[in-house]
Amino acid sequence: MTVFEFWRYTFKSFRLDLPQQAFFPVCRFIMPIFKLLINGESRTVDVEPDMPLLWVLRDELQLTGTKFGCGVASCGACMVLLNDTATRACVTPVQIAEGQAITTIEGLSAKGDHPIQQAWEEINVPQCGYCQSGQMMTLAGLLKANKRPSAAEIRLAMDGVLCRCGTYHRIQQAVQKAIEDYNK
């Protein structure tokens, strides 16, 4: 797939309808307070409205499981769920996220035993592990949208998350296993 096609799929499939210029909004001189619902808990942050949710999660709330990989929606390391939709937190201004149910890797399951996590564990997927939150949350979003995605839908979704260590071979297997277990 070409670079253009990838960009189009990224924005079309997995994000909310954000105006392009949400990425560079006008600065404000007061720091408003945002009430966020994260992993079922209400959290309050005092930040600029244009601050990407990624930095709010990581630096304001110490939820460092969501990773910074590029900041421009090209790698998928920052994937979270916004009302069950896989969303790239690095290009989601916090003001958009207010009022939405946000799920991060820390909230995928209480005990690390979501079928996706279990499949990843059984196949021993991670190497450095840095991209794996993004990989798992992308699949989580896909399964929320469609419990039995087609091969083409899987390929489209998972192609949006990069892995430099090259664990794709195992991710491919873990995806199959996770879908089986999710449907049990």
CA distance 52 to 49: 8
Among 27, 87, 88, 38, smallest CA distance to 60 is for 38
| Rounded (5°) CA angle 53-90-56 | 25
Piece in contact with another protein (CB under 8 A), picked from 2-10, 12-20, 95-103, 139-147 = 2-10
**Shortest distance, CB of residue 183 to another protein, whole angstroms?**
20
Instruction: Name the residue with tokens 């600065």.
Output: 27
Q: Indicate whether 7 belongs to the interface with another protein (CB under 8 A).
A: yes
Query: Across the strands, what pairs with 169?
Result: none
Helix (H, G, I), strand (E, B) or coil at 82: strand
Burial, 169: exposed, middle or buried (Cβ in 10 Å; 0-12, 13-18, 19+)? Answer: exposed
Among 134, 44, 128, 139, smallest CA distance to 89 is for 134
Q: Indicate whether 112 belongs to the interface with another protein (CB under 8 A).
A: yes
Binding mask 124-163 for another protein (x = CB under 8 A): x-xxxxxxxx--x------------------x--xx-xxx
Q: Indicate whether 182 belongs to the interface with another protein (CB under 8 A).
A: no
**Shortest distance, CB of residue 169 to another protein, whole angstroms?**
5
Binding mask 22-51 for another protein (x = CB under 8 A): -----x-x-x---------------xx-xx
Residues in contact with another protein by CB under 8 A are 1, 3, 6-7, 27, 29, 31, 47-48, 50-52, 55, 58-60, 62-72, 74-75, 77, 104-106, 112, 117, 120-121, 124, 126-133, 136, 155, 158-159, 161-172
